[in-house]
C-alpha cells in the first residue's frame, strides 16, 4: 500500500496530466476552431497564407497528439502505482522527480511544434504582406507600461532572496560543484534569458505585419507578465529545493516539481488564454484591401 506522500504524488501527477495535456489543449483547440469558423479565409484572407485545409489538419494533429499524451500519462500513472517501482531512478528510495520531469518534456512537444508552426505562419504573412496602409507607433514603449513596478520589484527581491536563502541554509558554500551554486547559476541564466526575450518583445520587429498597435501592446503585456511571473515561480521553487536539501524532504521532490510544472503552465499558457480573448482582437486588419492609399 502506498505511503501518504506517494498518494499525494499520484494525485498531483494526475493534475499535471489533465491540466497540461487536456485542459489547456482543449481550450486551444476550441479557440483555433472558433477562428476558422468565425473568421473564414473568404473574408479574412490575410490571416491564411496557406490553404485552409492545412489549418484543419494541423488542429486535428494537435488534438490527437495531446489526447494520446493524456492516455500515455494515465497508463504511466497506473503503472507507477501498481507495477513499476517509482523509486527506481532515485538514490534516496523515494519517488524520483525524473518521472514528472520526463513526462513534462513529452507534454511540451505539441506546444513546441505549435509555436514553430506559428513562427512559420507569421513569416509567410510577412512575405505576403502588401498592406496598403502602414502604421507607425510613435509612442515609446517602456517595461513599466506593461508590468507593474511592484511585480518587477517582487521578482527582483525573490531572485536575490532565493540565492541568499540557499547560501544561508548551506553555510555559504560557493564551490561550483555544490547544489547551491548550480541553482544560483541556473537562476541567473534563466532570468537573463527572460531579460533578452523581454527586450526583443519590447523593441524587436513586429512579428505580425497586420496586427493593430493595440493588439500588439496587449500581447506584449501578456508575454512580459508571463516572464515576470515565471521568474517569481522559479525563485520560489528554488527556495523550496534549498529547504528540501537542508531539511531532507526528499520524499516530496517529485510532488514539488510536478506542482512547479503546473504553475509554469498556469502562468504561461493559462495567462495567454485568459488575457488574449478572441473578442478583444481586431480581426478587421486581416480583411482584403478595399482601396489603395
Q: What is the pLDDT of residues 238-281, one digit of tens each?
A: 999 898 887 888 888 999 999 999 999 999 999 999 999 999 99
In a domain, 131, yes or no: no
Residue 157 lies inside a defined structural domain of this protein: yes
DSSP state of 140: P
In this predicted structure, what is the pLDDT of residue 175?
85
pLDDT at 136: 54
Nearest CA-CA partner of 154 in 225, 203, 218? 225
Residues 102 and 174 both lie in one domain: no
Please tell me the total count of domains within the chain: 2
State the residue range of the domain holding 8: 1-126
**Does 46 share its domain with 91?**
yes
In a domain? residue 107: yes
Distance CA 198, CA 205 (A): 13
Q: State the Cα–Cα distance between residues 182 and 18, nearest whole angstrom.
A: 32
Say yes or no: 56 and 155 in one domain. Answer: no
- Give per-residue burial for 154-164: e unless 16+ CB within 10 Å, then b: bbeebbeebbe
Query: Residue ranges of the chain with pLDDT lower than 50?
Result: 131-132, 290-293
Give the three cell numbers for residue 233: 515561480
pTM: 0.89
Q: Cβ(272)–Cβ(198) under 8 Å?
A: no
Rounded CA-CA distance 262/260 in Å is 5
Whether residues 104 and 165 fall in one domain: no
Give yes or no for a contact between 37 and 47, defined as CB atoms under 8 angstroms apart: no
Amino acid at each position: 500500500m502506498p505511503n501518504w506522500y506517494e498518494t499525494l504524488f499520484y494525485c498531483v501527477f494526475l493534475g499535471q496530466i489533465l491540466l497540461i495535456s487536456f485542459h489547456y489543449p482543449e481550450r486551444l483547440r476550441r479557440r483555433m476552431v472558433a477562428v476558422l469558423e468565425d473568421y473564414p479565409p473568404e473574408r479574412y484572407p490575410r490571416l491564411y497564407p496557406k490553404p485552409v485545409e492545412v489549418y484543419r489538419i494541423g488542429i486535428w494533429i494537435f488534438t490527437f497528439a495531446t489526447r494520446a499524451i493524456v492516455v500515455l500519462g494515465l497508463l504511466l500513472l497506473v503503472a507507477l502505482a501498481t507495477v513499476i517501482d517509482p523509486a527506481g531512478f532515485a538514490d534516496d528510495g523515494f519517488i524520483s522527480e525524473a518521472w514528472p520531469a520526463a513526462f513534462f518534456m513529452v507534454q511540451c512537444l505539441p506546444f513546441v511544434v505549435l509555436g514553430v508552426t506559428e513562427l512559420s505562419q507569421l513569416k509567410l504573412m510577412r512575405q505576403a504582406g502588401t498592406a496598403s496602409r502602414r502604421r507607425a507607433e510613435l509612442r515609446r514603449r517602456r517595461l513599466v507600461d506593461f508590468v507593474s513596478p511592484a511585480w518587477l520589484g517582487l521578482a527582483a527581491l525573490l531572485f536575490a532572496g532565493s540565492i541568499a536563502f540557499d547560501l544561508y541554509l548551506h553555510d555559504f558554500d560557493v564551490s561550483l560543484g555544490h547544489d547551491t551554486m548550480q541553482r544560483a547559476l541556473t537562476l541567473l541564466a534563466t532570468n537573463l534569458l527572460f531579460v533578452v526575450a523581454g527586450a526583443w518583445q519590447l523593441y524587436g520587429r513586429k512579428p505580425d505585419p497586420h496586427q493593430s498597435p493595440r493588439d500588439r501592446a496587449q500581447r506584449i503585456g501578456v508575454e512580459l507578465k508571463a516572464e515576470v511571473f515565471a521568474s517569481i515561480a522559479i525563485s520560489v521553487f528554488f527556495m523550496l529545493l534549498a529547504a528540501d536539501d537542508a531539511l531532507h524532504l526528499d520524499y516530496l521532490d517529485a510532488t514539488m516539481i510536478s506542482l512547479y510544472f503546473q504553475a509554469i503552465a498556469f502562468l504561461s499558457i493559462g495567462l495567454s488564454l485568459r488575457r488574449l480573448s478572441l473578442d478583444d482582437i481586431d480581426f478587421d486588419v486581416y480583411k482584403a484591401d478595399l482601396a489603395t492609399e
